[in-house]
Structure 1
């Protein structure tokens, strides 16, 4: 089971530096936002970088594109932060190992951006009248799940059966949870997972082509 963490704290930091930094940044920025107000308040979250759309003037949030990134390091409350950081702590390290640091950080950020983009796109399709304010690392984290879904389906030798079952269970539970629980952005999760699936396929193809070229 690749998702069981046996490393010591020091070993974890050394082996998975990017994931460690991402967790630290999320925690620090949550403290900053919390120190200055209620992170669950939409206006306060907006002031500190939440992803936001205006159905009339800016339906895709492109007037302030930096919010696609800043919102990935924000959370609406302690439980939201704890849930996402636990997922990042446990499930992201094997992917960092597989992709290596540079590709991994590119992968992570692109999945988070894709999650926000999907959320905005669906809101436009649904003729949303009120706009959208969103925060959280969930889009990027679901990108990690999407990558492992690709591995589970097309690179089965890289995962043991227990790990594959864990991936399927998390995704099924995640979809149900996103539908049932209010204020959870289902489409940000879907967008992140889809981006993760496709991006990992892209990186995997590059790796395969390099092996064929030098074999």
Structure 2
């Protein structure tokens, strides 16, 4: 089971430096935001970098594109933060080890951006008013998307328990996104699809290098 964590704190930091850094940045930024106001307040979240789209005016948030990144390190409350950081803590390390740190950080950030882009596109189609979002969920679902790719096309790389865990997480995640108010289902879907497609590209690249003997 690749998702069981046996490392000590020091070993975790040494083996998974990118994941550890991402978790630390999320926690530190949440503390900064919480000290200065209510993280769940829309205007306060906006001031600190939440992702915002306005149909007909700025449907894809391109007037302030930096919000694609800052919103990825923001959370609306302690429960939101802890749920996402626990998911990262447990599920991200095997992917960081597989991709190596440099590719993994690119993968993680692109999945977060992909989740926001897809969510913005759906909200633009629905034309349901301004949309504001925070959270690492899009990037985290990108991690799940990569493991879905591995579960389907590289089955030998994952044991049966790990594959079942991936399927269960994704099924539960979709149900949870439908049932819980204010959860951005489309950011989850967008992040997951981005992760699936990106890992496919990385996988093809790694196989090509192996064939060329690099």
The TM-score normalised by the length of structure 1 is: 0.99
Instruction: Give the RMSD, CA atoms, in angstroms.
Output: 0.7
Whole-Å Cα distance in 2 between the matches of residues 69 and 93 of structure 1? 21
Whole-Å Cα distance in 2 between the matches of residues 139 and 64 of structure 1? 19
Once the two structures are TM-superposed, the CA of residue 12 in structure 1 deviates from its matched residue by 0.3
- 1:137 equivalent in structure 2: 136
Whole-Å Cα distance in 2 between the matches of residues 156 and 119 of structure 1? 30
Once the two structures are TM-superposed, the CA of residue 57 in structure 1 deviates from its matched residue by 1.0
Deviations 1:106-154 (A, max 9, x none): 00000000000011000011122x2100000000000000000000000
Ranges in structure 2 where 5+ consecutive residues have no aligned partner:
none
- 1:212 equivalent in structure 2: 211
- 2:85 equivalent in structure 1: 85
Whole-Å Cα distance in 1 between the matches of residues 133 and 172 of structure 2? 21
* 1:105-144 aligned within 5 A: 105-128=105-128, 130-144=129-143
Once the two structures are TM-superposed, the CA of residue 56 in structure 1 deviates from its matched residue by 2.4
Whole-Å Cα distance in 2 between the matches of residues 57 and 123 of structure 1? 13
Moved over 2 A (4+): none
- 1:148 equivalent in structure 2: 147
SS in 2 for 1:214: coil
Whole-Å Cα distance in 1 between the matches of residues 45 and 56 of structure 2? 21
SS in 1 for 2:64: coil
SS in 1 for 2:127: coil
- 1:192 equivalent in structure 2: 191
Matched, 1:48 2:69: no
SS in 1 for 2:4: coil
The TM-score normalised by the length of structure 2 is: 0.99
Whole-Å Cα distance in 2 between the matches of residues 131 and 161 of structure 1? 43
- 2:163 equivalent in structure 1: 164
Whole-Å Cα distance in 1 between the matches of residues 166 and 117 of structure 2? 24
- 2:64 equivalent in structure 1: 64
SS in 1 for 2:115: helix
Deviations 1:56-110 (A, max 9, x none): 2101100000000000000000000000000000000000000000000000000
Whole-Å Cα distance in 1 between the matches of residues 13 and 210 of structure 2? 30
SS in 1 for 2:212: helix
- 1:95 equivalent in structure 2: 95
Whole-Å Cα distance in 2 between the matches of residues 200 and 84 of structure 1? 21
